[in-house]
Structure 1
Amino acid sequence: MARNNVYLYYRNKQRHETQVRKLVEVGKRYGLNVVQDHKQANIIVSIGGDGAFLQAARFTGFRDDAIYVGFAEGPNSFYCDFDINDLSSVEAIFKETGDRVSNGEIEVRRYPLLEASINGGPGMLCLNECSVKSSIIKSLAIEVYIDGFLFETFRGDGMVISTPTGSTAYNKSLSGAIVDPLIHCLQVSEIASVNNNRYRTLGSAFLLNRGRKLSLRIIEDGNDYPIIGMDNEALSLKRTDSVDIQLSDKELKTVKLTNNTFWHKIQRSFL
């Protein structure tokens, strides 16, 4: 497989048609070939912001043998380092990426992925978070196990389990901590927990190290059909009895640029 094949992922073809044409033209100038099958590419480019980046990663199977590059419309995007309307930055990244990929010298940033198994089924990956939420106007009861040990019994609107990069998303809105991606861990955050004489939870987010297995067992009490979210998509399931979550051995790779660490991104996005 050629080491300079690019796959472009974008949903709004009409809106991004002109921008995509420019990307293709610039890419060709720097020896990058646009392909129609992502399996033939070693560079996957998303267009449209963080949501499109998450969808691109899922659509292409969270490939660990490819580099992901995100383009957004404007500078305030977490996963997308580049403004697609800034042609100079587009040229710079395509030149740098093309040169380094062709020479096998590209530097990459690695983001941890979550792997979730529903009802004992095959593992599914996500980059931001896996959420388990009540689908009706009734609280949800969950037994929370850590490595097989019953840690607590939760009742409330649900739980969010996030990666370090996902700690800046849904998790942050729940007052969870922002975690450096160099710390490979899971973060577990509650959504509107109920604490009384029968149900008692920690009442705050907590971290689990790589290698730990988190198991959520849904208690049958008339609310046995929670919504399972994987990043920005909801799974369509008739019934969920259990969700087992751990860090995957796979990681998602993006271009590593000077003065663009995770904390540069945090400052740019929130401060």
Structure 2
Amino acid sequence: MKGCFCKVSKRKNLYLFYKRTIEMEELIQPLKEIAEQNEFTLVTDVEKANIIASIGGDNAFLQATRKTNFNEDCLYVGVNTDSMGFYTDFSMENIEQMVLAMKNEEVEVRRYPLLKVTVDNEMPFYCLNECSIRSNVIKTFVIDVMIDDFHFETFRGDGMIVSTPTGSTAYNLSVNGAVVDPALPSIQVSEIASLNNNEYRTLGTSFLLSPERKLTLNVVQDGNDHPIIGVDNEALSIRHAKEINLSLAEKQIKVLKLKNNSYWQKVQKKFL
């Protein structure tokens, strides 16, 4: 999960990802000045960047990674405008800390796994946090859950969430899913309001799958065959979905983090 500092220090083409408002332009001006003073080149074309800094919270970070195609050749940095997030170790209130941390080798590169999602054999897309499948009407729907080629269970309820380890503290946690160490490559499957009776029976709890496993969710066509598919903090405009294949992707993103601010320290600060 770690990379060497020398690779970080050689990256100088910086792209800033933020909402283009007057307020944000004023807020990030000091960041631009400090970046230029420290010999970073601010680029407006993301294709020319080797560092991408998101300005905002975790939602901004998720947007930045998605809209830049989860670029494996770039280093992502999260800079918060409010409280610290899971992906954002640095703050606009103390920009100098980020530069000093890089100079003093107090940072490391952590690699985070992505979730690969394919709907009805179309082009795959990727998620950093989770993919959720939910009913689009006030009605439960049925999903046949396949692990590899094995029919594991038939689910009826409001939906399901499939999350990465770093996404385990987001939507997944709100439905009592487990918090997973990012060092453990896996995907987690969690239920949203499942029905358990003589006709439909599920495990009734979240479960983890290894990176070698493939998960397939087959939507049973019973008049509610247009589920809402959410990826991280966006909803996909897919009108019809029968088969959803999910697995841990081979590609990862590289994120610049403080050495003394581990995932479990953040979990403690956020929830305990």
Structure 2 length-normalised TM: 0.93
Pairs within 5 Å for 1:179-190: 179-190=180-191
Q: Tell whether 2:62 aligns with 1:70.
A: no
**Displacement after TM superposition at 1:106 (Å):** 6.8
- CA distances 1:215-237 after superposition (whole Å, capped 9, x unpaired): 00000111100000000000011
Q: Which residue of 2 aligns with 1:204?
A: 205
Q: 1:94 aligns with which of 94, 99, 105?
A: 99
Measured in 2, the distance between the counterparts of 1:226 and 1:28 equals 47
**Displacement after TM superposition at 1:194 (Å):** 0.5
- Corresponding letter in the other structure for 1:220: Q
Q: Which residue of 2 aligns with 1:141?
A: 142
Pairs within 5 Å for 1:191-270: 191-270=192-271
Q: Tell whether 2:165 aligns with 1:164.
A: yes
Q: Tell whether 2:68 aligns with 1:60.
A: yes
- CA distances 1:129-180 after superposition (whole Å, capped 9, x unpaired): 0000000011010000000110000000000000000000000000000000
Q: Which residue of 1 aligns with 2:36?
A: 28
Contact 1:46 1:56 (C-alpha < 8 Å) held by counterparts: yes
Contact 2:72 2:251 (C-alpha < 8 Å) held by counterparts: yes
**Displacement after TM superposition at 1:74 (Å):** 2.8
Measured in 1, the distance between the counterparts of 2:72 and 2:107 equals 14
Contact 2:115 2:246 (C-alpha < 8 Å) held by counterparts: yes
**Displacement after TM superposition at 1:38 (Å):** 1.2
Q: Tell whether 2:130 aligns with 1:129.
A: yes
- Corresponding letter in the other structure for 1:211: E
- Provide the secondary structure at the position in 1 that maps to 2:131: strand
Contact 2:53 2:78 (C-alpha < 8 Å) held by counterparts: yes
Q: CA RMSD of the aligned region, Å?
A: 1.6
- Pick which of 61-70 and 158-167 moved more: 61-70
Contact 1:76 1:268 (C-alpha < 8 Å) held by counterparts: no
Measured in 1, the distance between the counterparts of 2:252 and 2:227 equals 28
**Displacement after TM superposition at 1:95 (Å):** 4.3
Contact 1:113 1:126 (C-alpha < 8 Å) held by counterparts: yes
Structure 1 length-normalised TM: 0.93
Matched residue count: 263
- Corresponding letter in the other structure for 1:68: Y
Measured in 2, the distance between the counterparts of 1:257 and 1:137 equals 44
Contact 1:159 1:191 (C-alpha < 8 Å) held by counterparts: yes
- Corresponding letter in the other structure for 1:174: V
**Displacement after TM superposition at 1:47 (Å):** 0.7
Contact 1:76 1:269 (C-alpha < 8 Å) held by counterparts: no
- Structure 1 stretches of 5 or more lacking a match? none
Q: 1:81 aligns with which of 74, 86, 89?
A: 89
Contact 1:54 1:231 (C-alpha < 8 Å) held by counterparts: yes
